[in-house]
Structures are given as structure tokens and as C-alpha cells.
Amino acid sequence: MLHSHTEIDHMHDIIIPDDSTRPEIPQTELTEQQRQPMRHLRAIHEHHRRNMRMMAGMLEGVRKGDTSASELHAHIKDNPIVENYRVFGNLCGQHCQLVNGHHSIEDAHMFPALEGKNAALDKIVQRLREEHEVVHALLIKLAGEAEKLIKDPSESQFDATVLAHERLATLLLSHFGYEEDSVGPALGLYDVGI
């Protein structure tokens, strides 16, 4: 359970965990071969990081557009920004599915293989599982906001979509780094494939 030092997203009532409450990472000496699963995990996460940067870039491009969101209502079918919203919605939906699938695999296969190895690692895995739940809630929220944006290309809905993306990106990028640093070494140490 995520405890003290949490921030509540009042707009959506999603509790965002505070990085400072994460369990400490034990120091581990690894051979070069034992580092390979950690590198593989980083490579997988880098794919998701690129998607997050692409979505942020697309939102920034829409933000810099010459047409205001209120003008979009009058020109909704022919306006290229609305098409950008549709593309963003599709990209967002694909990214949400990829991240959710990635976390589902970790929850079903990687984490059970690590659990029971030592108490410190068990605390880390528990925290990562809890963060997966929050990430999932934020993915659902972002997908919903992106879908609303296609139907309602107003400035307020655009801002809500940007906020949902920023909240997800902040947690997800932090989560990936913590996961790589905390369980990455354990993957090689305990010979757990990913």
C-alpha cells in the first residue's frame, strides 16, 4: 500500500506515489553476463520512453498550432489539428496498450520469479506492483481524455489531456528508472529472463 508523502490528483482522485517512499535498493556486484537482463529491461523501457516523448512532442505541436481550440468547433471535419487529435488518440491508445501489456507480463512472470529471494527485494517488488496499479489508472485516464479531445477539441479539454499525459509521464519515467535500478540487477543475479 502506498503511504505517506503522496500527492492526490484532485482532478481525477488518483493517488500519485512519492518517489521518496520507495524501498531502498540493495547494492549488488554483478558479472558482465549478469548485467545482460538489466540491459534488456532498459532497452524495453527505452521503447516506452520514446513513445512518451513522441506523445509529448505531438501535444506541443498541437499547442503551437495557428488555430485556436474554439475555432476547431466550426471547422471540425476539415481542420488538420482535429486529425492530429485523432492520430494522437490512436498513438495514445496503442501506447497505453503496450505499457499495460508490458506491466502485465512483469506482474505475471518477472515479479513472481523474483519474490521470495530476499526481504529487501520483496519490498521493492511489492512497491513496483503498487505503482503498476497507479500507472494503469493513469493510462486509462489519458486514453479517456484523448478520446474526449477528438469529440471536444476545446482548449479546456486539450489542457485536461495534456495534464493527464504529464501526470502519466512523470510517474512512468520515474517508475522505469526505479525498476531498472532496483530489480534489474536481481534479474541477472537470480538468472531471471525477461
pLDDT at 107: 85
pLDDT digits over 16-28, tens only? 999 999 999 989 8
Question: Among residues of the chain, what percentage have pLDDT more than 70?
Answer: 76
pLDDT above 60 for 189: yes
**Would you list the domain boundaries of the chain?**
30-189
DSSP conformation letters of 17-72? PPGGGSPPPPP----TGGGHHHHHHHHHHHHHHHHHHHHHHHHHHHHT-SS-HHHH
pLDDT above 70 for 12: no
Which pLDDT band holds residue 67 (cuts at 50, 70, 90)?
very low
> Which pTM was predicted?
0.78
The lowest-confidence range among 60-64, 84-88, 142-146 is 84-88
The lowest-confidence range among 34-43, 71-80, 81-90, 122-131 is 71-80
Bridge partners of 15, per DSSP, are: 8
pLDDT above 90 for 100: no
What homologous superfamily does CATH list for 30-189? nmb1532 protein domain like (1.20.120.520)
CA gyration radius, the chain: 19
pLDDT above 60 for 52: yes
